[in-house]
Amino acid sequence: MLAVLLITGGYLLGSIPSAYWAGRWIKGIDLRQYGSGTVSGSMVWEHVARWAIFPVGIFDIAKAALPTWLGLELDLGENIAAAAGLAAVVGHNWPIYLGFKGGRGLSPFIGVLLIIFPWGFPWMLAFLAIGFLLGDSAPWALASLGTLPLPAYWLDKLATVSFAAGSMLLVTLGKRLEANGRPLPPPGIERRQVLLRRLILDRDILSHTEWINRQP
């Protein structure tokens, strides 16, 4: 029962949409109508204010780190602790307070890693930094999750980190395909192309610049 309560609380905490609030409070906009349509730090960076990514990012990391830490403090085991943190990631991606239209979950997942496997943070950060420098971080985010068990194996944390990374990878792919309910083209080759782009590039078109600069 304690584990169920913690995981449920993790989801509700993760659903708090800090990026959405930043858009509303600072610029009076709904981030779901801009750029990629995700309620995320990246869209705060592009469409709200670059300084705002720091409080938004810290909050999003903390809202998953807290239930993960509580899971360990309550002696529920690493897997339950990770599950509570991942519930916060699910809440971030599908927030009950915004009609289940949220972000992509990388910031809260970093919060999970900081508690159960701190070395996972610089590992993921290195991949995301490469993607940032190359102008497209979406494929590198997948690479970071897929390779995360490697440092975990070296540091004898394989089981818990593999569970967390595998779960996060499935959540990420599911969110990319679902894309906050964005409609798909009619069945056929164009739909297949869009689905493939969503999986790999996290967008419906080839141009990253055009995608993140979309306006309502």
pLDDT in tens, 13-36: 999 999 999 999 999 999 999 999
Amino acid symbol at 20? Y
Residue 135: its pLDDT value, please? 84
**Residue 169 has which token pair?**
């990878």
pTM: 0.93
Across all residues in the chain, what is the average pLDDT? Answer: 95
Q: What is the pLDDT of residues 159-209, one digit of tens each?
A: 999 999 999 999 999 999 999 999 999 999 999 999 999 999 999 999 989
Tell me how far the alpha carbon of residue 143 is from its chain's centroid: 14
Q: How many domains does the chain have?
A: 1
**Residue 122 has which token pair?**
């610089």
Listed in sequence order, the residues at least 6 apart from 81 whose beta carbon sits closer than 8 Å to its beta carbon are: 67, 68, 69, 70, 71, 72, 115, 116
Give the sign of the dihedral formed by CA 55, CA 211, CA 101, CA 126: negative
* Cα–Cα distance for residue pair 20/99, rounded to 1 Å: 12
- CA neighbor of 127 nearest in space, from 113, 105, 146: 146
Domain that holds residue 203: 2-212
Residue 1: its pLDDT value, please? 86
**Residue 191 has which token pair?**
């739909």
**Residue 152 has which token pair?**
């975990």
Question: What sections of 48-178 are H helices per DSSP?
Answer: 53-73, 78-93, 106-116, 120-134, 138-147, 149-154, 158-178
Residue 131: its pLDDT value, please? 92
* Cα–Cα distance for residue pair 214/154, rounded to 1 Å: 43
